[in-house]
Amino acid sequence: MKKYITILIITISLLPSLAQDYRPSSLHFTPPHGWMNDPNGLVYLDGQYHLFYQHNPDTIVWAPMHWGHATSTDLIHWQHQPIALYPDSIGMIFSGSCVVDKHNTAGFGHNAIVAIYTVASTTQAQAIAYSTDGGQTFSKYNQGRPILTADCPDFRDPKVFWYEKDEKWIMLLAAGGEIHFYASKNLKEWGKISSFGYGYGNHQGVWECPDMFLLDDKWVLIVSVNPGGVWGGSATQYFVGNFDGKRFIADDHIGSQRWMDYGKDHYATVTYNNAPANRRIAITWLNNWEYATAIPATTFRSCMAIPTELSIQKDDDDYRLIVKPISEIDKLKKRVDSIDDAKNCAYEIDIVVEPNDQKRSIITLQNRKNEKVTFEYDFANRTFSMDRTQSGITDFAPSFKAITKASINKCEQQRIRIIVDRQSIEIFDSNGQFCMTNLVFPTEPYSVITTTGENISYSIYNLQ
Ligand code: FRU
């Protein structure tokens, strides 16, 4: 009898490992277990990049939110840290940001890390917590009671940064389908200074997770919208303009839309405060609320996209946000002969395509089960697309079977980087024309790459 019980226990304990785990390489951050959504509180201090995140440690679905925590010295290898903020009787801990209080404006101490987050119950309000041990532990200020209460529904996701010129803090809040701007001298008392949004960009869904920063001499405002995304559901839009310490004035025309990424799984993008060398580094949740809680998962659910570095480019009279993988990834690249050699870890395929008289050029990744992803340049219509309709497991949500498309404006030589990991494919055009982030769930790794014709060449690299 004892023998049978032992066998039963061993069998039960093995069960989760029989289902696909889809745990990616460390390039794509994942929680140790449980549920994860937005990146929160991205801040750099004393050689450490901190990544906090929306987290439910207990199950693999969204439920009372905590701030999970991890640290890294290179944005690639992460160390899990104890949970930073727990929900309490005041509410759940929703998204927000962290700053380094270099001038001790709040009185918590020189270089204290201050977290500014939303407490969510029947209403939403903003609260702060602080750390005087470099982000290891946080104390809730005033027992977690709000420092800023709602002036409208959907009042959340504070992004705070230091505005050097006026020596004050600026807070952006997603508030009732707009962005509200507040200012403060001490992170505790805030006054509203302006708002932006009505008539601008996409308003088919709720606005969430704003961020704003200066690139060269232009201000870029990032706003996530859900639903209403470019391929349905969630997506990240942005605006380019000017900020005078009070008001953001967009260069964009009323009604025009700009997307940061042309895939279907790119949401809640925010950037690091205090990053070294003035770098503007972004982390994105690699998912879509349309099916986030249904994607194949066993012990954890969701990953972050690879960290990217943002810059701005002027084309004629218009400015464009350029999104590139952080250069730290280049140091991992080791040339291999085939994706079969690389399939047990993340890998990169660098592709060069010479335009061929209005014809289509197709690249396919495929496994032995005939599951495949196709990438297509259509030079007649000047588009690049990715088709994941036969990519593996797709039946957990009707809208997962998607073809995502981006415009290419120049019909000259095309160069792209395709980064493949256990549950994702990210594509970066080397001229910054587009990027495209998508989930895929093959039941075994893709093992063969095929291309149509002589005009395509490629090389493959392990990213390990
Ligand atoms: C965006 C979001 C935020 C909110 C958080 C809750 O994905 O809805 O607006 O703070 O998730 O988990």
285 by Cβ neighbours in 10 Å (0-12 / 13-18 / 19+) ranks as: buried
Average pLDDT score over residue span 401-429 = 94
Closest ligand 1 atom, CA of 209? 9
Q: How far is the CA of 337 from the centre of ligand 1 (A)?
A: 42
Average pLDDT score over residue span 403-417 = 91
Nearest C-alpha neighbor of 327 from the set 339, 310, 343, 344:
310
pLDDT beyond 60 at 5: no
Among 125-129, 252-256, 434-438, the least confident range: 252-256
Of 59-63, 251-255, 313-317, where does the model show the most confidence?
59-63
Q: Which of 37, 116, 207 to mutate to test the pocket of ligand 1 (most atoms within 8 A of CB)?
A: 37
- Active site residues per annotation: 38
Q: What's the pLDDT score for residue 255?
A: 81
pTM of the model: 0.95
Q: Which of 157, 172, 223 to mutate to test the pocket of ligand 1 (most atoms within 8 A of CB)?
A: 157
CA distance 39 to 24: 17
Q: What's the pLDDT score for residue 19?
A: 66
Strand ranges of the sheet holding 66-72, from the earlier edge strand across to the other edge: 79-85, 66-72, 48-56, 34-45, 300-301
More confident site: 345 or 347: 347
For residues 396-431, one letter each, b for 16 or more C-beta atoms within 10 angstroms of the residue's C-beta and e for the rest, the string is: eeeebebebbbebeeeeebebbbbbbbbbbbbbbeb
Q: How far is the CA of 125 from the centre of ligand 1 (A)?
A: 13
Q: How far is the CA of 92 from the centre of ligand 1 (A)?
A: 11
Q: How far is the CA of 38 from the centre of ligand 1 (A)?
A: 7
Average pLDDT score over residue span 133-151 = 95
Closest ligand 1 atom, CA of 224? 1
Q: Kindly state if the Cβ of 302 falls inside 6 Å of ligand 1.
A: no
Q: Kindly state if the Cβ of 118 falls inside 6 Å of ligand 1.
A: yes
Closest ligand 1 atom, CA of 234? 7
pLDDT beyond 90 at 449: yes
Q: How far is the CA of 435 from the centre of ligand 1 (A)?
A: 23
CA distance 268 to 97: 12
CA distance 85 to 129: 9
Q: Kindly state if the Cβ of 156 falls inside 6 Å of ligand 1.
A: yes
Q: Which of 92, 156, 207, 288 to mutate to test the pocket of ligand 1 (most atoms within 8 A of CB)?
A: 156
- 254 CB contacts (<8 Å, ≥6 apart)? 199, 200
8 by Cβ neighbours in 10 Å (0-12 / 13-18 / 19+) ranks as: exposed
Encoding tokens for residue 394?
């797709």
Q: How confident is the model at residue 344 (pLDDT cuts 50, 70, 90)?
A: confident
Average pLDDT score over residue span 68-78 = 98
Q: Kindly state if the Cβ of 117 falls inside 6 Å of ligand 1.
A: no
- 250 CB contacts (<8 Å, ≥6 apart)? 196, 200, 221, 239, 240, 241
Q: Are 237 and 225 in contact (CB under 8 A)?
A: yes
Q: What's the pLDDT score for residue 6?
A: 45
Encoding tokens for residue 267?
């949401």
Report phi then psi at 143, rounded to 5. Answer: 55, 30
Task: List the residue whose alpha carbon is closest to atom 9 of ligand 1.
Answer: 208
pLDDT beyond 70 at 140: yes
Is beta strand 424-429 parallel, antiparallel or unpaired with respect to 414-421?
A: antiparallel
279 by Cβ neighbours in 10 Å (0-12 / 13-18 / 19+) ranks as: middle
Task: List the residue whose alpha carbon is closest to atom 6 of ligand 1.
Answer: 94
Q: How far is the CA of 266 from the centre of ligand 1 (A)?
A: 14
